[in-house]
Amino acid sequence: MYLWIHLIAAVLLLLVVMFALTKKDNHITPYVITARILYVVMILDGLKILIPAISRNIPLSIVKVVFAIGLIGIIEMMFASKMKNQLNSKKVWLTLGSFVVVFILGFMLAQGRPFI
């Protein structure tokens, strides 16, 4: 149940961030607020699923959390760039790539759950 919430929030966050960064104008405040609500959900929910994950694989759990927090930082920097009209396609790809890395680490850590 907590893993489903984490997964759904992760997919929603990806969609919200990509919509915001590829929007034609830079009025993205509603997207920024939604993304921040999703971070809170993911951090609280992430802490809950972290306890069993740590006992299974300590190094991967640490790497996953560090990269996830790094991703949140990157997203915030990209929102700021977008609002100042300084975003370019390289930065959008960097954000997408960081999402891919965190998703891969998350799926590795969860070992196929909640699907298997």
Q: Which of 15, 40, 47, 96 is in the footprint of ligand HEM by CB under 6 A? A: 47
| Shortest spacing between CB 104 and ligand HEM, in angstroms | 8
| Shortest spacing between CB 57 and ligand HEM, in angstroms | 8
Instruction: Find, among 18, 21, 17, the residue nearest to 83 by Cα.
Output: 21
Angle (CA) 90 101 9, round 5° = 100
Which residues, numbered 63-82, are part of the site for ligand HEM (CB under 6 A)?
Answer: 64-65, 68, 71-72
Q: In angstroms, rounded to a whole number, what is the distance separating the alpha carbons of residues 57 and 40?
A: 24
Residue 23 has what DSSP assignment?
-
Size of the site for ligand HEM (CB under 6 A): 26
Structure tokens at 34: 């939604």
Question: Residue 72 in contact with residue 39, Cβ under 8 Å?
Answer: yes
Which residues of this protein are in contact with ligand HEM, per CB under 6 A? 3, 6-7, 10, 13, 42-43, 46-47, 49-50, 53, 61, 64-65, 68, 71-72, 102-103, 106-107, 109-110, 113-114
